[in-house]
Structure 1
């Protein structure tokens, strides 16, 4: 039975790179739908949950995997520009409380969760498929405000020393997937370093090319051919 996969991006340019990668070797695979879910964890969660609920309500084959993907900031030295990060955990980096003694996660406050672990066998399968391409397996952070200072980058790195990338949608996608009992993973291509905001140093085109190559390599492993939703 073909695995049905929901691939969620924030914007259309990311969705286009994913689709071009999956189509690289021509048709023949089945099962991927690419959803442009919007920017930020709330939009991503709502869009993903709606797509998963629609599949259940219409009686179509359920999704077997949800992938949150797109470009992202990378934490030095773990993830240089142009590399790819495959999540072994999807972490909400600002879901908690600031206190005089420092930041507390929702777990430390006694309610909710801020981490979705990714199944090790799933990350291992993806990593094997990506071996020709530079990549790392590490936590990906979800933030509601993109980091733009060295101080904030250092704070996040201190709290999450293994984190390799920062983006804005993964935790929202993961929350929706978890609510429907569907496995989830986040895959990010690095366009810039996490830290002081320097648009001149961003390499968005390079990251989108890396994203396309990533899904080209994954196309046989995932056994899918894309369709797109908005």
Structure 2
């Protein structure tokens, strides 16, 4: 049996892909470049190419890495391999939208828990993402703060230190994320209770997120943030 919602003090969150709809942001930006240059692209194929390029050995911090990624995938999409388009793809991250349910669900959850962001994005991007969904976080950890990216356990250890400094422990945390690879698998190994938000529940494959070596059955499973917030409200009010 999963630990009940009422027993947590913190909810930690993946941001990009769980709260921010980065796949739509990527596809929209690439489609705009395609339209400008008179090219038609397959958006799902673009996500696959992105995923492959994003996890090559020479990656840079995200979203700055989108410049390199664009130059890598542009020829395969028939797009011009010009740096200015890569820079426009990177800069568009500032205006990526939250999923329709993110802001409202986070506002509800913030009334019950301390919400902590755990994002592989750089600080400049995280600040834009947080503002987009109403700045709901009690604290935020980025790749700039930790010097690493999930699923590196060192990222999680920085959050554990923060929670311990407040007199609490990892047992007080429910980790919420859409990525099996970056979050759900490693959170299980580290002894966290986790909640999988399956944003691609009505689509095939893992989209722009790398596929895990093995699937991890989560403690909690929802297809939206709204469903999580509803379950918390119903359970605690009961």
TM-score, normalised by the number of residues in structure 2: 0.35
Which structure ranks higher in relative contact order (CA pairs < 8 Å, sequence separation ≥ 6)?
Answer: 1
Larger radius of gyration: 2
Kindly indicate which of the two structures has a greater share of residues assigned to strand: 1
- Provide TM-score, normalisation by structure 1: 0.36
Higher helix share: 2
